[in-house]
Amino acid sequence: MSKDWDLFLAPYKQAVDELKVKLKGMRTQFEMQGTHSPIEFVTGRVKPIPSILDKAAKKNISLDNIEEEMQDIAGLRMMCQFVDDIKRVVEILKMRKDFEIIEERDYISQKKESGYRSYHLVIKYPVQTINGEKKILVEIQVRTLAMNFWATIEHSLNYKYKGRFPQEIENRLQRAAEAAFQLDEEMSKIRGEIQEAQVIFSRKAEGNDSDKVKLQSEGDASAPSDC
């Protein structure tokens, strides 16, 4: 069974690895242009086998059908600083030609009852294997850092309580979700100030690095010769 799972999951791992490189490359392009990158960072993972089996049981999905019916075996998360950046990232993803978007779920304008917010895209990504092309379902989640912090905590608590939160915990999570969204809203209002400060900080850091290189070069030039 272990060998069978390894063979089954190999294309998913390949898809995650390839997409991480491509999506991180988008951030690099913004940086090279000297413009604000709507992408803070990108992470990815393949769902662990126990999680696949657990979800298949909960959703009543046959193991023979998980390839077609389970959309998040391969998953990527794209983090943004500001809520407005999410829309920009989604627009860029829709312009790409290396995969097909087959489903969108906007949990930002229509949050879940729990308070969860994120923008989900399900794509079909073509992986080249020794047996030919294989199209893999991949879920891409686009969210702010605050949204991700809340979702990570909620996910951990969900495992602890097996989805059955005590009422007090559920109430506090909902309040925390609103607080996280309020944080995003306030940060958006001073977005210009934040970006200006980041540019100044970045230039200062680059200047310090240049000074270090210059001092090192001068030190090497004044060093005595071995001859």
Instruction: Say if strands 41-46 and 132-144 run parallel, antiparallel, or are unpaired.
Output: unpaired
Is residue 120 within 8 Å of 139, Cβ to Cβ?
yes
CA distance 153 to 173: 9
Record the pTM.
0.82
CA distance 169 to 162: 13
CA distance 101 to 137: 10
Q: Where are the alpha helices (DSSP H) in 61-166?
A: 66-69, 83-95, 145-161
Q: What is the pLDDT along the chain (227 residues), one digit of tens a residue?
A: 455 999 999 999 999 999 999 999 999 999 888 888 999 999 999 999 999 999 999 999 999 999 999 999 999 999 999 999 999 999 999 999 999 999 999 999 999 999 999 999 999 999 999 999 999 999 999 999 999 999 999 988 987 887 788 999 999 999 999 999 999 999 888 877 877 776 676 667 666 665 555 556 666 655 555 54
Active-site position among 68, 139, 154, 193:
139
Q: How many residues are present in the chain? A: 227
Residue 227 confidence (pLDDT): 41
Domain ranges of the chain: 2-197
Reduced to 3 states (helix: H, G, I; strand: E, B; else coil), residue 36 is: coil
DSSP 184-220: HHHHHHTHHHHHHHHHHHHHHHHHHHHHHHHHHHHHH
Residue 196 confidence (pLDDT): 76
Q: Where are the alpha helices (DSSP H) in 102-190?
A: 145-161, 167-189
Q: Which CATH architecture best describes the domain 2-197? A: 2-Layer Sandwich (3.30)
- Does the annotation mark 139 as catalytic? yes
CA distance 162 to 155: 10
